[in-house]
Structure 1
Amino acid sequence: MSSVDFLDKLLDGVVVEWRSLGEVTLPTNNIKWRDANRTYRYIDLTSVSIETKAITETSEITHSNAPSRAQKVVEKDDVIFATTRPTQQRYCLIDDKYTGEVASTGYCVLRAKKAEVSPKWILHWIASSDFKAYVEENQSGSAYPAISDAKVKDFKIPIPCPDNPEKSLEIQAEIIRILDDFAELTAELTADLATELTAREKQYNYYRDQLLSFEEGEVECKTLGALVDINTGSKPSEILENATNFDYINAGTSRSGYSATSNCEGDTVTTPSRGQGGIGYVGYQRGPFWLGPLCYKLQSVDRSVLINKYLFYFLQSKSELLLGLKKEGGVPAVNKSDLVKLEIPIPALKVQQRIVAILDKFDSLTNSIMKGLPREIELRRKQYEHYRDLLLSFPEPEEVGAQHHG
């Protein structure tokens, strides 16, 4: 049975009345900080995860340090929806853990009249494509888009069998049950796929580290300064910075694309000299690209002694060696004078070639899996959204259709 057929059978000709969220929710209260005598958890705009629709982190506040936006008291089963940058769809259902805590004024708090509507009925409608389209039509401001609480509460949702609240809640509950099952299955599959992704990455790292670990005295070690030329990159011109068709690598970040205009050519290993979170990153690049000033370029002096790709894999597996060279101060950095002293094990050229060939295969396999699994996760999410929207396809009066679809 299709979702549409199921919905028709479930409704079985009952009346469906479209009511605004304001009509099916209760007024809520702001905290009176002058009377507050305990510590509260503060749900700010970054507390709710866009991906999981759950509260992931809160701060503790009291009347003495509460931000001015910390105002709205929330209770169990409230649905909160972020009205700042609303198309991000940052929303969640408040559970026992956060009942009585304080949310930012950047949220619209929807407290269901439970005799008429289930809180999860509101939640699933807030998640719907219709609501997202409504928000896009009714938000204002380009740099800092927002939608008012009043506009959110003007959005209309269907109430089946409004004259028989008990039957109405039964119909809502059956649709909610199916949607929750879909959501749970999607979450489980996503978790399984994420676990697989992590396992494959760990497996790759394990074999890479094994291949690049040598017993003491097994191979000759040489300093990096004796093996490679070490130079820093340079800042691109304004024209290049505004372009989008070249690889620009700086402090562990890259802008995708390609251009013959570059300051580097060929196989090159780079590692940032400084920059937030950049130290220890090692990249490998083929062809022309632009290397930024926060990176070192390491190029083998004699490729009959050292293969650049071998150096890349070694430094990638031993990032702690690079981190160990970091000098603290005004700007944490790895100095070239320390980098040249780093000792690198140099097996015979044929051994380096074999290690590179094996790791290239592992890297290719791991990357294909790591690209494929996120695609699978996205397909699962879209499948859930498809069935959710079908199950919420209630017959709409003309004026509601115009509201929901712009």
Structure 2
Amino acid sequence: MRFLLAFNGTRGDIQPAVVVGSELQRRGHDVLVGAPPNLGEFVAAAGLATAPFGYDTHAHMNSDVVRAKLRTGGPRQRWRAFAEIRDLGWAQAVGDMRELHKGAEAILTGFVTEQIAAPFAEAAGAACISLHHAPIRPNSTVSPVPAALSGVPPVVTRASWWLTDTAMWLLTRDRQNTLRADLGIAGEVARSPRDRLEIQAYDPRLCPELVDEWSPSRPFVGFLDLAADQRARIGADTGDPDLPAWIAAGSAPVYFGFGSMPVPDPGAVVDAIVRASARLGVRALISTGWAGLTVPESPDVRLVGALDHQRILPLCRAAVHHGGAGTTAAVLRAGIPALVCWVGSDQPYWGDRCVHHGVGATTRLRGLTADTLVRELTTVLAPEPARAAKALGAELITPEQAVRHCADLVEEYTMASRPAGGVR
């Protein structure tokens, strides 16, 4: 079978596609990954065919609209910034998809590109499968605005989802209907997605209430992660030859890294990390990430580029990170507690999950100070979160189990979606 995996976003959005695509390719299928141009080399290094899909997300994450307009000013400015982000790259991604989807029997996609992938799949008679790395469908327990609402009655959560879905449908239905008409699809876009497999690529152990509410229509497979040989090929580790010796030479360090996120004030954040680490008497291992953090090194502070989470995190005492699903998974599987300093999107949800399960704390990255770090890390570095993190890590679905289950679901759904009489 021929599979198109069409994803746009940061590396955290693309990596699950690479994991699933690699397993499907290993099983003998024809796989093409559509990815943002800045992550094409990452996909190719993992051994998959790739083509550009959408805009350069590295440039976007460091643009003025993301770093400033979306996070400062009044409601009107923020709304204009949101509208700009909503419309960014639509025509480009649609144009790319016109070529990418040809011959595909199934299109796998993520939340941010579903509105493009779904009509192309429908027009081609292909299966459409979504891969979600956080809860983004209506439910009774997780708010659509996890940073703003928590602990509210289920009826309020349900109502907030209805309002959010309706607002998004009203904002985007015209362009979706225009695309549908252009592709020759009758009828208008529905308010809610339907006739689609939606795989939840995160661990059911962290959200049993969602498992009860959604099963079996939205199956949970566990967090997806690269295999060891893939991590080696893509350069997951910058190969700092002295890092293991530095870690072994003293107490286990605290890892600090914010992945692809735009750090609002890098200098202030680094200063807060260095001062808080000194006050707490801990060593700091700081990853530069897309924000390009810089810091004068000292015997107790070490700056690194990319590193292999599976290899290094188990050697750390705790992790301070942005709360992306991939990093959250790596930290939880390493069995260490975490302080989630979130920026937005699904990150507050993963911070909340860490608090809920007693394996960490959460706060906002913007305005992070040494005092905040000292206060929150004092909680995180206590004995009980360490014990809870170790126990929880041992209970999570392994990456190998997760990718096998995910690929099985993809194959089965694609086969079941074939028209009577065989291949399209």
TM-score w.r.t. structure 2 length? Answer: 0.28
Q: Higher helix share goes to which structure?
A: 2
Which protein is richer in strand relative to its size?
1
**Larger relative CO (CA 8 A, sep 6+): 1 or 2?**
1
Return the TM-score normalized by structure 1.
0.29
- Kindly name which structure, 1 or 2, has the bigger radius of gyration based on alpha carbons: 1
